[in-house]
């Protein structure tokens, strides 16, 4: 089997899932061709079975913006023709699936049958796809795909509801974590390198700082927590709201208690010294970072939104509180920080859950079975 993967290469869950899936397939002897704007950040070094083809946006003085979607379709055609690819797996519907479907149509006139599978990741449906200008295009791209997967039951249901699509169209294949890479470790020097005293607790937030992540809520919660427990807040990632958060940190005079580490390709090291992961998203189709934290035995505190309840078990691997209930979120964090046995217990359950439900082996096999089913036209 030879497959092409199209994804956004930047700092985001869909790019991480696409890259990790491609790497796992490559290790199984499948030839995988990534077709992207840049090399996905998790695709470092020489990897077995992995090839990378760059899409070059086309600019011309007449255009207001450089074109991406059409050169992407052109690149897909070129790669499929050259390497005799059977299947294109797009991550994030807009505009990747539309480009792949255009390539499919053009190649069919040459007698080439190309299958297109779309994986919906979340904001492609819950935010972007619902915009009036994109609604019909998103719906069309889902209906015209040969196969569609969603990363949670929540996302499947919401997609079917929003676009009036039959549930039979969509298969749920959960996101996954590499349990060998994400496993608890004790390296005393890591806290020292960050300038965090050994006994100080670490609360971590990892995101792309888009408005949907509500990164300022994290700060509000932390400002309550730090009055009760000696702790620091570590922000990992970068995005549109970073500036606002920095300003607020200054206003609250918390500069010496809040650390910004920026973008990091791998978060296992920083998770290994964390006591609680805090997620304050308005919605989250899955919450890959919650799973990564659970694999590292770090409890999660989050709003009870989207697909997070399918990942985090309230009262067992973390605490889920009502949306915008900052008070309850702060109480939950304090409880976990004050009672180390509870943190340990929740951590262990988190890793067990990650292993049982969201292991790389399990979900990659699910993808492979799905590819075979679609290739056979079933
Ligand atoms: O908007 C984002 O958060 C980024 C987006 C992405 O680029 O991939 O994340 C979505 O896909 C992830 C991987 O499947 C999920 O874990 C995230 O929950 C989802 N984000 C949202 O639904 C907000």
Confirm or reject: Cβ of 214 under 6 Å from ligand 1: no
Position 237 confidence tier, pLDDT thresholds 50, 70, 90: very high
More confident residue, 127 or 297: 297
Separation of CA 166 and ligand 1 centre (Å): 23
The average pLDDT across 143-160 equals 97
Separation of CA 226 and ligand 1 centre (Å): 29
Q: Note the pLDDT tens digit of each residue in 278-296.
A: 999 999 999 999 999 999 9
Which atom of ligand 1 is the closest one to the Cα of 8? 7
Which domains does the chain carry? 2-176+359-375 (3.40.50.2000), 188-357 (3.40.50.2000)
Which atom of ligand 1 is the closest one to the Cα of 212? 23
Dist. CA 147–CA 167, nearest whole Å: 12
Q: Note the pLDDT tens digit of each residue in 157-185.
A: 999 999 999 999 999 999 999 999 999 98
Q: Which long-range contacts (CB under 8 A, 24 or more apart) does 181-185 make?
A: 181/266, 181/268, 182/268, 182/271, 182/292, 182/295, 182/296, 182/354, 183/268, 183/295, 183/296, 183/351, 184/272, 184/296, 184/297, 184/347, 184/351, 185/268, 185/272
Please say whether the beta carbons of 242 and 260 come within 8 A. yes
Stretch among 41-45, 56-60, 163-167 having the lowest mean pLDDT? 41-45
The average pLDDT across 259-275 equals 93
pLDDT on residue 11? 79
- Computed over every residue of the chain, the mean pLDDT equals 96
DSSP annotation string for 156-204: HHHHHHHHT--GGGEEE----B-TTTS-----HHHHHHTT--TTSEEEE
pLDDT on residue 241? 98
Q: Note the pLDDT tens digit of each residue in 324-351.
A: 999 999 999 999 999 999 999 999 999 9
pLDDT on residue 73? 98
Confirm or reject: Cβ of 40 under 6 Å from ligand 1: no
pLDDT on residue 42? 87
Kindly report the CA angle at 369 between 74 and 47, in degrees rounded to 5? 60
Q: Note the pLDDT tens digit of each residue in 306-326.
A: 999 999 999 999 999 999 999
Position 54 confidence tier, pLDDT thresholds 50, 70, 90: very high
pLDDT on residue 127? 80
Q: Which residue from 9, 89, 92, 121 has its CB within 8 A of the most atoms of ligand 1, so it is best to mutate?
A: 121
Helix or strand (DSSP H, E) at 23: helix 13-27
Query: Is pLDDT above 80 for 188?
Result: no
Q: Note the pLDDT tens digit of each residue in 66-81.
A: 999 999 999 999 999 9
């Amino acid at each position: 089997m030879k497959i092409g993967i199209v994804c956004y290469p930047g700092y985001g869950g869909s790019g991480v899932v696409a890259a990790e899936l491609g790497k796992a397939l490559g290790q199984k002897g499948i030839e995988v061709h990534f077709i992207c704007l840049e090399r996905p950040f998790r695709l470092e070094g020489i990897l077995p079975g992995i090839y990378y083809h760059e899409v070059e946006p086309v600019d011309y003085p007449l255009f207001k913006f450089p074109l991406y979607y059409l050169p992407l379709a052109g690149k897909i055609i070129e790669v499929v023709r050259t390497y005799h690819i059977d299947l294109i797996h797009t991550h994030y519907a807009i505009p990747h699936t539309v480009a792949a479907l255009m390539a499919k149509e053009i190649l069919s006139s040459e007698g080439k049958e190309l299958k297109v599978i779309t994986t919906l990741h979340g904001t492609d449906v819950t935010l972007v796809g619902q915009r009036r200008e994109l609604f019909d295009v998103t719906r069309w791209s889902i209906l015209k795909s040969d196969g569609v997967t969603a990363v949670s039951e929540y996302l499947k249901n919401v997609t079917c509801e929003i676009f009036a699509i039959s549930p039979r169209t969509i298969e749920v294949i959960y996101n996954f974590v590499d349990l060998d890479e994400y496993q608890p470790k004790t390296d005393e020097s890591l806290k020292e390198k960050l300038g965090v005293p050994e006994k100080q607790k670490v609360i971590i937030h990892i995101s792309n700082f888009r408005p949907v992540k509500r990164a300022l809520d994290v700060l509000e919660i932390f400002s309550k927590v730090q009055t009760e427990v000696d702790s620091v807040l570590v922000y990992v990632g970068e995005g549109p709201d970073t500036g606002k958060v920095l300003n607020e940190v200054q206003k609250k005079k918390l500069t010496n208690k809040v650390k910004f580490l920026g973008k990091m390709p791998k978060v296992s090291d920083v998770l290994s010294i964390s006591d609680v992961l805090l997620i304050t998203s308005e919605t989250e189709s899955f919450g890959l970072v919650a799973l990564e934290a659970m694999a590292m035995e770090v409890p999660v505190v989050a709003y009870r939104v989207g697909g997070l309840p399918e990942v985090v078990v309230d009262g067992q691997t973390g605490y889920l509180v009502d949306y915008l209930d900052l008070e309850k979120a702060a109480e939950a964090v304090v409880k976990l920080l004050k009672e180390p046995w509870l943190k340990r217990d929740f951590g262990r359950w988190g890793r067990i859950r990650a292993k049982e439900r969201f292991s790389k082996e399990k979900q990659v096999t699910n993808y492979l079975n799905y590819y075979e089913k679609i290739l056979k036209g079933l």
